[in-house]
Amino acid sequence: MGIVKCVGILTSGGDAPGMNAAIRAVTRAAIYNGLQVKGIYRGYRGLITDEIVEFKSQNVSNIIQLGGTILKTARCKEFTTPEGRKIAYEAMQRHGIDALVIIGGDGSLTGARIFAQEYNIPCIGLPGTIDNDLYGTDTTIGYDTALNTILDAVDKIRDTATSHDRLFFVEVMGRDAGFLALNGAIASGAEAAIIPEFSTEVDQLEEFIKSGFRKSKNSSIVIVAESELTGGAMHYAERVKNEYPQYDVRVTILGHLQRGGSPTAHDRILASRLGAAAIDAIMEDQRNVMIGIENDEIVYVPFSKAIKNDKPIKRELVNVLRALSI
């Protein structure tokens, strides 16, 4: 592999607050190190449709505070095929792109891993997902902001729940990971969290009801992770209506509200550090790695580990929630 002279950057999959801070960091760190930068719009689709623009320092001015992604993002079925990846590679060659930085979740990194293997391209991943579900990094870009959005929403729901003596089920994102639900419950003082990691072990609703949650409180909030494994907030609300009709139940689904908003200081700093580290990795001739952070130190995590390994939930956090919700 020759010396890298030009780096392409794209955001893929679901957007996350802090992606723009990462785009800014990658762009400016690359220019600082004498590299050319090409911004690729709409993720992998932009490689196939040739939506590629040269980025200078001014292209990323005044974006660190913005949610979403200025590069846009899109799902791309064509990139999952060898034919689509061939078109993408040819576009890279035309634009002189020698290496790729991909900001996204596990699906985005899976695509990068396959692409890198097929065409021997240095690919560096940055963990950009509110779900915090990528193995090998303590936290992901966007997670802290989404958690604070949940916190703000649940604080407001608490006001009406208390006024009406109601049981509220609040559904949050996370796909098959319960990090947002569990930590959101601890931070907001919720009475319980229903998460996919424990859905096969116990009946989490039954456990919550039997804990006697109404002994000392006249209102309760349960945060539910959206997942096929949990069934979501509506599933549990219906169960309560049928099995415990004495309770006045309401449901709030926060949905895409959690994806938006200006990134927190934590996410801006994290994205800036990871973005700069991505260029360091390229200069060190690294490839097929995700840049993560563990114990406040930058780490290089092979794509195979980041994608294949499940990130475990700490049971200690479940115990903390249970103890503090009495």
What torsion, rounded to 10 degrees, do the Cα atoms 114, 119, 120, 122 define?
-70
CATH code reported for the domain at 6-142+263-308:
3.40.50.450
Q: Which of 131, 133, 144, 267 is catalytic?
A: 131
Q: For 35-44, 85-94, 238-247, 275-284, which range has the lowest pLDDT when averaged over its residues?
A: 238-247
Does pLDDT of 246 surpass 90?
no
Q: For the chain, which residues make up each domain, given as ranges?
A: 6-142+263-308, 144-260
Same fold, 6-142+263-308 and 144-260: yes
Asked about 131 being catalytic, the answer comes back as: yes
Rounded to the nearest integer, the mean pLDDT of the chain is: 93
Q: What is the pLDDT of residues 191-224, one digit of tens each?
A: 899 999 886 556 777 777 777 665 556 668 999 9
Q: How far apart are the C-alpha atoms of 123 and 230, rounded to whole Å?
A: 35
Does pLDDT of 1 surpass 70?
no
**What is the number of other CB atoms lying within 10 angstroms of the CB of residue 274?**
29
Residue 158 corresponds to which amino acid? R
Q: How far apart are the C-alpha atoms of 62 and 42, rounded to whole Å?
A: 20
Among 82, 52, 22, residue whose Cα is nearest residue 267: 22
Does pLDDT of 249 surpass 60?
yes
Residue 248 corresponds to which amino acid? D
Give the pLDDT score at 173: 96
Give the pLDDT score at 229: 85
Record the pTM. Answer: 0.94
Using alpha carbons, list the distances in angstroms from residue 7 to 12, 23, 100, 253: 16, 12, 6, 40
Give the pLDDT score at 206: 78
Topology given in CATH for the domain delimited by 144-260? Rossmann fold (3.40.50)
Per-residue confidence band for 247, with pLDDT thresholds at 50, 70 and 90: confident
Does pLDDT of 163 surpass 90?
no
Q: What percent of the chain has pLDDT over 70?
A: 95
Give the pLDDT score at 201: 59
Does pLDDT of 157 surpass 80?
yes
Give the rounded distance of the alpha carbon of 136 from its chain centre.
14
Give the pLDDT score at 215: 53
Give the pLDDT score at 216: 53
Per-residue confidence band for 244, with pLDDT thresholds at 50, 70 and 90: confident
Give the pLDDT score at 202: 61
**What is the number of other CB atoms lying within 10 angstroms of the CB of residue 235?**
15
The stretch 138-161 carries a mean pLDDT of 96
Tokens found for residue 297: 């130190």
First-last CA distance in the chain? 60
Q: What is the pLDDT of residues 100-141, one digit of tens each?
A: 999 999 999 999 999 999 999 999 999 999 999 999 999 999
Give the pLDDT score at 165: 80
Tokens found for residue 257: 């509200």
